[in-house]
Amino acid sequence: MNLVRTRMIPATAASTRRPPAVARVGASARAPDDSPANDLRPLWPPHAWRRELAAAVTDVGELLALVGVAEGAATAATDFPLRVPRPYIARMRHGDAADPLLRQVLPTAREARAVPGYSADPLGERNAAASPGILRKYAGRALVIASGACAVHCRYCFRRHFPYASHRPGAGAPELAAVRADPSVREVILSGGDPLLLTDGHFARLVAAVAAIDHVRTLRIHTRLPVVIPQRVTAALLDTLARTRLRVVVVLHFNHGNEVDDHCARAIAALGRFVLLNQSVLLRGVNDDADVLAMLSERLFDIGVLPYYLHMPDAVAGTAHFDVPETEAVAIHRRLIAVLPGYLVPRLVREIPGAEGKQPLPTAPRPPGSAG
């Protein structure tokens, strides 16, 4: 086993305190050639991730008991049920109702409040559906709803009201017909839900179907599973990605440095031959602090991942309590520019329905004497 050993993050560390350094497991830990048999393999048996998924906590009372927090801190989830894998719970600080990981997954009464400007589909994704299972938002790209489920239910999820029942993937990937018919599509994005909730066999067949489309060059995978259940990075998954002719980009979703532990580092090391990026969401009470975000960027770099996007929260019904005002977000981002090298500063962006791409927020200060 050719893996770099890392240290666990102490569960008692303060949310803004820098955790102990993880040994660099990016390019330096990669295998010397690209043969699938020579890749880095995690230490878990092939079905360990499915056992963790089945054991995920779905009861609010059980979650609070596991982290030692009084039940008055939450409310029972209704339209968007609770689901939290135990490996993720293990990284939460015991007895801390304000733990930034707990806040991402714990349902509260604030979700039921109707807030003007917040809706079920603020990004207009229903209008972006080219066919069942395919969203076309931007030129040259097609997004496949590969799965309607996630391993964790993040309370700020922008697709918490998405009509997945109308976008169920079919046998033989019929949703790819729209991609085959459009030679302008150069990149296919597997999203959901989480595409890595597919079994290894199903995922391999989907990747093969995408690779069979001649004009597609790049496969992008958006996933949170290596964060919340690192055991999902199996030998079969690695072989599928290593064997495809497509360029593979894996976009992870870490929001806080305390989410990075030894198991995550091992999973990311195994994925190290591919392009690894991270996108975060700026969340009130979770990471709305420049020191927290700087620590996250450095932790990501330690494990071979580059920060990509820092998203403004979308105006999704039930998520208003996570909102960060734009002026505050810009100030936080300017501080990141001041303290981090440029390659560790994620782009601060907002998604606007109908725009040609994610829209960057202007964060550079004006030169002295410039006109407003």
3-state helix, strand, coil in the chain (%, to 5): 35, 15, 50
Q: Is the pLDDT of residue 242 over 50?
A: yes
Q: What is the CATH number of domain 30-113+122-360?
A: 3.20.20.70
Which range is least confidently modeled, 28-32, 230-234, 250-254, 301-305?
28-32
Distances (CA, A) of 261 to 93, 135, 281, 346: 13, 34, 20, 21
Q: How many CB atoms lie within 10 A of CB 356?
A: 9
Question: Which residue bears the tokens 């020579």?
Answer: 38
Nearest to 31 by CA among 271, 192, 207, 240: 271
Query: Which H or E run includes 269?
Result: helix 262-270
117-160 per-position pLDDT tens digit: 888 777 766 766 667 778 888 899 999 989 888 999 999 888 77
Q: How confident is the model at residue 41 (pLDDT cuts 50, 70, 90)?
A: low
Query: Which H or E run includes 220?
Result: strand 218-222
The mean predicted confidence, pLDDT, of the chain is 84
Q: In what order do the strands lie in the sheet with 141-145?
A: 129-131, 134-135, 141-145, 187-191, 218-222, 247-252, 275-281, 306-311, 347-350, 359-360
- Helices and strands (DSSP H and E) totals, the chain: 11, 10
Q: Where are the domains of the chain?
A: 30-113+122-360
